[in-house]
């Protein structure tokens, strides 16, 4: 990276690049923001891209696009809540369909003890009450 910076400075010093040209403006931008553009290099193992973040946001962007076709705002809000729950289940490796069924079947228990019915707790195994209810 230091060789790149030196090369850019040489281009301006030797007047190889017109400062007001598109290339010159781009190179000046790089020099002006050098510290911020190279900050990731100070962290060992930092990824060179943000693909993980992009993939995580893709579902939310798709929902926003699809929400245009809900008949009303309430329907869009319900869709957003469901997407949030499903995505949280996916991130916690919990089966989303079974999780939502468990919430529906045990709504009063979930309201009484919400911690037991959070997706990350559910991923570790069904809440004790649910397992006991199935056994009975």
Note the pLDDT tens digit of each residue in 63-119. Answer: 777 777 778 888 888 888 888 888 889 888 889 999 999 999 999 999 998 888 888
What is the model's pTM?
A: 0.51
Give the percent of the chain with pLDDT over 90: 38
Alpha helices in 21-95 (DSSP H): 22-32, 34-38, 51-67, 73-91
Contact between 110 and 96 (Cβ < 8 Å): no
Q: What is the pLDDT of residue 129?
A: 55
The answer, yes or no, to whether residue 12 has pLDDT greater than 60, is: yes
Separation CA 48–CA 56 (nearest Å): 17
Q: What is the pLDDT of residue 25?
A: 96
Separation CA 10–CA 33 (nearest Å): 17
For the ranges 26-35, 40-49, 79-88, 126-135, the maximum mean pLDDT occurs at: 26-35
Q: Give 88 or 32, the one with higher predicted confidence.
A: 32
């Amino acid at each position: 990276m230091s060789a790149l910076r030196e090369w850019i400075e040489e281009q301006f010093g030797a007047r190889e690049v017109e400062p007001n040209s598109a290339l010159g403006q781009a190179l000046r931008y790089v020099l002006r923001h050098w510290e911020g553009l190279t900050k990731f290099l100070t962290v060992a193992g930092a990824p060179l891209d943000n693909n993980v973040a992009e993939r995580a946001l893709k579902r939310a962007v798709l929902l926003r696009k699809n929400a245009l076709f809900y008949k009303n705002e309430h329907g869009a809000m319900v869709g957003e809540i469901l997407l949030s729950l499903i995505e949280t289940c996916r991130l916690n490796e919990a089966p989303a369909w079974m999780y939502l069924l468990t919430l529906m079947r045990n709504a009063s228990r979930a309201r009484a003890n919400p911690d037991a019915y959070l997706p990350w707790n559910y991923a570790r195994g069904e809440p004790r009450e649910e397992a006991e209810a199935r056994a009975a």
